Structure 1
Amino acid sequence: MAYHYNDEMKKRLRRLEGQVRGVLRLMEEEKNCKDVVSQLSAVRNAADKAIAQIVAENLQQCILEEQQSGGDTSKVVKEAIELLVKSR
């Protein structure tokens, strides 16, 4: 099975990487913990959105492949939901 990671997903992760560097910079500059936590919260939210996008995009592909092989698509959906739950 080939997984699908498009340019938009990679772009989203690069932005997230930049946000993490920004948090590290705040820490190095000994900024207020409120600012650091606020930025970390933004990183977490961005990561959650990236996870959801990756699962959704790949779920569609996995369902199509499962249908073509005559398999149980409900199992694929259940696995995707478990991934989302674990990520929280």
Structure 2
Amino acid sequence: MEYNDQIMKRLKRVEGQVGGVLRMMNEEKNCKDVVSQLSAIRSAVDKTIAVIVADNLEKCLKEEMASGGDTQKMVEEAVNLLVKSR
């Protein structure tokens, strides 16, 4: 699978957020602030996972439908990936 610039930008943003949390921890910032930032990171990662799964699913479904195959299994696998990531 080819990962586009949008996905890379999302992950670079997450990378920056993780660096920010580490700085906050080194500066002994308030627990609530650290947890809030960690929650934002988790949300950003979850959204990135969803984008990757959706993009890949779309491509796979098109290929499978073009060949007359059954798409149900692919949809189930995509849903399982999303559930497993949580």
**TM-score (normalizing by structure 1):** 0.92
What is the correspondence of 1:16-55 to structure 2 with a 5 Å cutoff? 16-55=14-53
Which sections of structure 1, spanning at least 5 residues, go unmatched?
none
* Whole-Å separation in 2 of the counterparts to 1:14 and 1:49: 14
Structure 1 residue 70 corresponds to structure 2 residue 68: yes
RMSD, aligned α-carbons? 1.0
What is the correspondence of 1:1-20 to structure 2 with a 5 Å cutoff? 3-20=1-18
The structural deviation recorded for 1:23 is 0.5
Which sections of structure 2, spanning at least 5 residues, go unmatched?
none
Q: Tell me if structure 2 keeps the 8 A contact 1:4–1:57.
A: no
Number of aligned residue pairs: give it. 86
**TM-score (normalizing by structure 2):** 0.94
* Whole-Å separation in 2 of the counterparts to 1:68 and 1:4: 20
The structural deviation recorded for 1:4 is 3.1
Query: In structure 1, what is the equivalent of residue 54 of structure 2?
Result: 56
Between stretches 69-78 and 54-63, larger displacement belongs to 69-78
* Whole-Å separation in 2 of the counterparts to 1:67 and 1:81: 18
